[in-house]
A = this chain, B = another copy of it.
Amino acid sequence: MSVQSEFSVIQHYFEQLTSSRDDVLLDIGDDCALLKCPENQSLAVSIDTLVSGIHFFPDVDPHTLGHKSLAVGLSDLAAMGATPAWFTLALTLPEIEEPWLLAFSQGLAELAKQHNIQLVGGDTTRGPLAISIQVHGFVDPSKALRRSGAKPGDFIYVTGTLGDAGASLQLQLNQWYEDNLQAEDLLYLRERLEKPTPRVEVGQKLLGLASSAIDISDGLLADLGHIVKKSGVGARLELSKLPTSAALDKTSRKMVESLALESGDDYELCFTVPAHYFTEVQERLAGMCTQIGVITEESGLYFINENDERISLNKTKVGYDHFKE
C-alpha cells in the first residue's frame, strides 16, 4: 500500500480507531496485511465505490458519509449471511481537511466497532473525492445465501421499509415537493438515505432457512429481478403488503408504490424462504421482515391487489428497465 508521503498524516485517524482482532496478523504499515481465515468457512468479499456528486452530495456530513461508505459493504455481507471480519479503505481526497477526516473516520469507526470489523489496510491518494471499501467476512459456503436458489412456491420477504432513501434523494434534488411531510419526517427520511442500517444480523439468521437473498441497492424490482433471473423463476408481489414507513405513507399512494418498488439505496434485504419454513421465519425474525409475495414458475414479475387480481404498473422507471435488460 504505497501511501503518498504528504498524506501519511491521514493514517493516524484510521490507525487509532480500529478494534483489534486476533485473526489480523499484520495490519496497516507493511506492503500487505496478513490475515488468518478460519477453517471450513469461505471468505466473502465485496468492493464498492462511492463517488462525490454521483453517490453522495459533495457537502454531505462526513460523519454519515463514513457510516454509509462501510454500510454498503456490510449490506453485501449481510446479503450472503456472512459474518464481517475486515475491511480495506482506498480514499481519494482533493485536499487534507482535518475536521472532515476526523468526522469521516469517526463515522466509519462507530459502525465498524458495532460489527467487529477491523480496518486492515488502505491507500490514500490525491484526486477527486471518492471512497472504495472492500469488506471481508466469513460464511459456511454450503449455507451462503446466493441470488440463484429461489424455487417456485417460496415466500418473498423484505426487511424494514422500502422507498425512504429514494424519497429523501428526490426531495433533496427538488424533484418532488410534498406538503404533508413535517420536519421530523424529512429528518427521518434523510437518515434512511445517509445512514442506512446494514441487516447483518438478519442475514446470519437466514442461514439454513433462506433459498436466496440480495440487498436492495438498486430498488426492489431491479434487485428481486436479479434473484428471479439467476434462479430461472418469476415472482408475484402483493402491492398492499409492501412495508413503508409512517413518513412515506403521508404522501400519495402512487408515489409510495413507485418509490417502494423502484428507488434504491434502502439497503434492506430481499430474500426467499421455502413455504414450510413460514413458522420458523415468524419465530426467528419476528418483527424484522414482511412477506410481500411468492416465487412463481412463470418468469417475470407480476403484481396483485388485495383481491388477488393481477394489475399492471407504469413501467417507465429505471429500476424496471434495469430488470428487463
Interface set of A (CB-CB < 8 Å, partner B): 1-2, 5, 8, 25-26, 29-37, 39, 42-55, 72, 76-77, 79-80, 82, 88-90, 92, 120-123, 125-128, 130, 132, 134, 136-137, 139, 141, 144, 146-148, 213-215, 217-218, 222, 230, 264, 318, 321-322, 325
Contacts and interface: CB of A to CB of B under 8 A. Distances in A.
Contacts of A127: 49, 51-54, 128, 130
Contact of A36 (B8, B43, B128): B43
A30 B215 CA distance: 10
Report which residue of A8, A48, A53 has the largest number of chain B beta carbons within 10 angstroms of its beta carbon: A48
A42 B36 contact: yes
Contact of A31 (B34, B50, B214): B214
Contact of A54 (B72, B125, B218): B125
A33 B46 contact: yes
Contacts of A33: 44-46
B134 A47 contact: yes
Contact of A30 (B80, B137, B222): B80
Contact of A90 (B31, B48, B264): B48
Given A2-B217, A80-B32, A90 B47 contact: yes
Contacts of A144: 26, 34
Given A5-B325, A47-B132, 18 more contacts: A2-B217, A5-B218, A25-B42, A25-B141, A26-B146, A30-B146, A31-B80, A32-B45, A32-B46, A32-B79, A35-B45, A36-B42, A43-B43, A45-B136, A49-B92, A54-B125, A54-B127, A134-B134
11 contacts: A2-B76, A8-B325, A25-B141, A30-B146, A31-B46, A31-B147, A33-B46, A45-B88, A49-B92, A90-B134, A123-B132
A49 B93 CA distance: 12
Contacts of A125: 49-51, 54-55
Contacts of A89: 47
A210 to B, nearest CB: 13
Contacts of A141: 25, 34, 36
